[in-house]
Amino acid sequence: MKMLPRLAGRRRHKPDGSDDVSPFVPEPEPVRYEAPKATIDPDRSKKWLARAMPILRAHKKIFIISLLLSFVGLVLQLEIPKLLMEAIDNSLAVLPPTRNPTTHQLIVHQHVPLHIYVWWIAGLAVAGVLAGYVSRLFLFKTAYNIEFDLRNIIYEHLTKMSFPFYDRVQSGQLISRANSDIRSVQMYMTFAPMILVQCSIALVAFGFMLWINVPLAFVSMVTMPFVYLTGVKMRKSMFPVSWIIQARLAEVATIVDENINGVRVVKSFAAEQQQLRSLAKAADRVQWGYIKDADLRARWTPTIQNLPQVGLALVLLVSGYMVIHGQLQLGSIVAFYSYLLMMQAPFMMLGMIIMMGQRAAASADRIYEILDEKPTVVDRPGAVDLVHCEGDVRFASVDFAYGGDDAPLVLSDFDLHLSPGETVALVGRTGVGKSTVARLLTRFYDVTAGAVEVDGHDVRDLTLASLRSHIGIVLDEPFLFSISIRDNISYGRPAASFAEIEAAARAAGADEFIDDLPEGYETVVGERGYTLSGGQRQRIAIARTLLVNPPILVLDDATSAIDVQVEQQIHGALRKLMEGRTTLIIAHRLSTISLADRVVLLDGGSIVADGTHSELLATTPLYAEVLAQGNELDAARLVTDEAEVH
């Protein structure tokens, strides 16, 4: 999945309708998503590494080549001590000619020129460098491919998760698991096999040592069982600490994420010091974990690394005795020591691989916690596509509660019918469940009892993609992406023409302030659109929905942050666009309610009144109270909006 820059610059549309092509801003080519070739094994009974093996197998070709070349490079290194031994015995330690005491014939010891061994050793070194280069290149490519796949697997899974999942999971936890936890797993899956290859080379080196001298080879291995037992104890002690570290890193990420996203609330209450104390407390908890981890590593790693040195001392004692008594040649002992030093490297890395393994196991468990959780709102078996939507909407005896069956009902025996093309305003006090109605229609949540129907189909019998493609919703808290205004408006229809984007913006009353911006429609808004006022964000959100032109439209307090004057300007366009479209308006303003053909009053989880505005105002005192409450909210939002602008 790549982003390739075009040679031409991005075309910027000026307010006068002309185009300005800037050669300094490359326009990216369309990006095509490439799904990972494999995914995590769903069998929870397997070990974490076995569950991740399908991903590694998807890249097995370059990974196996990497391991084989690493093995070849190490084998070439093993030949060098052997050549060094022969060079010492055949070139540097050549004895002078002697006579056979029996036959009195002159014995001339064979002499091999030293430069022959020099060239062989140099050639093996060059070949080892080339093999090592390609091996490391393929190893890191495999590592990055695994990281890419894991990150896409997690993100793709998160896109499928239902809203109840996001209601209880902190975003910082998800960010941590999609970053640091993935890196821990990826490093172990690629570098641990490489270290195992080095350990296999240690076995080959031990074979050469046996070839040189069997007793001395076994003396050198006396300490290795103790190294293994120490590594087992180190692994058991480090796993819980590794889990704690990863969990507490996620806590820090959560605090940072919430403070960045909620910076306006923090500053409004002058709570900077309070948040710094919270962050410092979380950082101290992470520090404790790292110190404990360092303490365990300092306690066990030196033992693992230095136990082979004891074996080296024993070898020195025994080999020295053998050389003095003529049982071993000088070249052999030099080669023996070279092989022994090669064998020590894998054992010295044993502590590191144990630490990596425990951290990877803890990280994998945290990742699997997310991947093993299944979405609760999914397509039923046999679900059909909603192809031609007429816009007939019905809520039939709907009960709903957030948080499960034991939670209090938000909607109780809720009945509402919207005929095709009808505009209905849903009115009620704050917190009575008006927005919940919109969420059930789009099937963000499933009803506890009853049914929501579109064109006579239970929404649970329709595919989610087809259902939501026919419903446009503008939320009371609009979310904008940190991209250009043009891209934000065309988010639901990326292929829309600029003329269509302008028309949608004009209908939503957003064209005036957009044209006043320095870059017009190409202006990049800040994160969540906070460089714009609340009213400007809502107008762009309305334009984004109108561009999709859905047969069913939901306006969830969509004009709550727009001042009355601007709202009146876009009402004419909204009336025209709502013609022939089923529209549910969740509102508290009288001006917005006037767009509706009829008004329903929600209270206590069910509809208590249904009729026109004048009928409800004359017959239902609660309706007048709700409208009065709405006026107070308008005043509060107006103050907030002005504060954002200034």
Can you give the CATH number for the domain in which 328 is found?
1.20.1560.10
Q: Which residue has the higher pLDDT, 8 or 68?
A: 68
- The C-alpha atoms of residue 562 and residue 571 are separated, in whole angstroms, by 12
25 found inside a domain: yes
CA geometry: angle at 158 spanning 152 and 161, to 5°? 150
Burial class, 523, CB count within 10 angstroms (exposed 0-12 / middle 13-18 / buried 19+): middle
Percent of the chain with pLDDT over 70: 77
What is the mean pLDDT of the segment spanning 288-308? 75
Class of residue 560 by CB neighbours under 10 A (exposed 0-12, middle 13-18, buried 19+) = buried
- Whether residues 20 and 55 share a domain: the answer is no
Residue 329, CB-side half-sphere exposure with 13 Å CA sphere: 15
Is residue 565 in some structural domain? Answer: no
Return the higher-pLDDT residue of 169 and 30: 169
Residue 584 lies in a domain: no
Query: Strand 552-556 to strand 471-474: parallel, antiparallel, or no bridges (unpaired)?
Result: parallel
- Claim to verify: residue 22 and residue 58 sit in the same structural domain: no
Q: Is 398 exposed, middle or buried (0-12, 13-18, 19+ CB in 10 A)?
A: buried
Mean pLDDT of 607-636: 78
Nearest Cα residue to 210 out of 72, 343, 77: 343
pLDDT at 245: 77
Kindly state whether residues 171 and 276 are assigned to the same domain: yes
Percent of the chain scoring above 90 in pLDDT: 10
Are residue 319 and residue 344 in the same domain, yes or no?
yes
CB-CB neighbours of 382 under 10 Å: 6
Q: Measured between alpha carbons, how far is 370 from 157 in angstroms, rounded to an integer?
A: 8
Question: For 50-92, what is the HEC assignment?
Answer: HHHHHHHHCCHHHHHHHHHHHHHHHHHHHHHHHHHHHHHHHHH
Q: What proportions of the chain, in percent to the nearest 5, are helix, strand and coil? A: 60, 15, 25
> 353 and 485: one domain?
no
- 21 in the same domain as 129: no
- Residues 390, 551: contact at Cβ < 8 Å? yes
Q: Using alpha carbons, select from 478, 402, 434, 405 the residue that is nearest to residue 163.
A: 402
10-14, 38-42, 268-272: the lowest-pLDDT one: 10-14
Tell me what the mean pLDDT of segment 323-327 comes to: 73
Residue 557 lies in a domain: no
366 in a domain, yes or no?
A: yes
Residue 458 lies in a domain: no
Joined together, the tokens standing for residue 399 give 């009960």
pLDDT of residue 434: 87
Q: Name the DSSP letter for residue 550.
A: -
Say yes or no to pLDDT of 22 above 80: no
pLDDT in tens, 327-383: 777 677 777 777 777 776 666 666 667 778 878 888 888 888 888 888 888 898 989
Least confident of 162-176, 297-311, 607-621: 297-311
- Distance in angstroms (rounded) separating the CA atoms of residues 600 and 620: 11
pLDDT for the residue 454: 93
Domain assignment present for residue 115? The answer is yes
pLDDT of 28 reads 43
Contact 81/335 with Cβ under 8 angstroms?
Answer: yes
Residues 28 and 52 in one domain: no
Q: Is 537 helix (H, G, I), strand (E, B) or coil?
A: helix
pLDDT at 459: 92
Contacts 24+ apart (CB under 8 A), 178-182: 178/151, 178/154, 180/246, 180/249, 180/363, 181/246, 181/363, 181/364, 181/366, 181/367, 182/147, 182/150, 182/151, 182/154, 182/363, 182/367
Same domain, 113 and 223: yes
Q: pLDDT-based confidence at 534, cuts 50/70/90?
A: confident
Residue 248 lies in a domain: yes
Q: How many domains does the chain have?
A: 3
Question: How many CA atoms lie within 13 Å of 413's alpha carbon, on the beta-carbon side?
Answer: 2
Domain boundary among 549, 582, 597: 549
Structure confidence at residue 593 (pLDDT): 83
Mean pLDDT of the chain: 77
What pLDDT is recorded for position 314? 78
pLDDT of 147 over the 70 cut = yes
Q: How far apart are CA 504 and CA 92, in angstroms?
A: 89
Work out the average pLDDT over 270-283: 73
Give the tens place of pLDDT for each residue, 71-120: 888 888 777 777 777 776 666 655 555 555 555 565 545 566 777 778 88
Give the pLDDT of residue 267.
57
pLDDT of residue 247: 73
pLDDT at 536 over 70: yes
Given this model, what pLDDT does residue 441 score?
Answer: 92
**What average pLDDT does range 229-233 have in this prediction?**
72
Which sign, positive or negative, has the C-alpha torsion 484, 490, 492, 495?
Answer: negative
pLDDT at 635: 43
Q: Are residues 28 and 117 in the same domain?
A: no
Which of 266-270, 438-442, 571-575 comes out lowest in average pLDDT? 266-270
pLDDT average, residue stretch 447-467:
92
Domain stop point among 524, 549, 574:
549
**121 and 180: one domain?**
yes
Q: Is residue 642's pLDDT more than 60?
A: no
DSSP 492: S
Helix (H) or strand (E) segment spanning residue 274: helix 272-324
Q: Is the pLDDT of residue 262 over 70?
A: no
Question: Among 332, 353, 371, which residue terminates a domain?
Answer: 371
**Mean per-residue pLDDT, 11-21:** 45
Q: Is the pLDDT of residue 634 over 60?
A: no
The verdict on 62 and 169 lying in the same domain is yes
Helices (H), 450-588: 464-469, 485-489, 498-507, 511-516, 534-548, 564-577
Supply the CATH number for residue 495's domain: 3.40.50.300
| Exposure on the CB side of residue 118, measured as CA atoms within 13 A | 5
Residues 19 and 125 in one domain: no
For the ranges 461-470, 477-486, 530-539, the maximum mean pLDDT occurs at 461-470
Instruction: Collect all residues with Cβ–Cβ distance below 8 Å to 583 and sequence separation of at least 6.
Output: 422, 423, 424, 552, 553, 554, 555, 595, 596
Lowest mean pLDDT among 199-208, 329-338, 413-422, 445-454: 329-338
Residue ranges with strand state E in 286-359: none
Domain of residue 8, residue span? 1-32
pLDDT of residue 460: 93
Tell me what the mean pLDDT of segment 371-397 comes to: 90
> What residue type is 182 in one-letter code?
I
Q: How confident is the model at residue 567 (pLDDT cuts 50, 70, 90)?
A: low
- From first CA to last CA, the distance across the chain in angstroms is 41
Paired residues of 63 in beta bridges: none
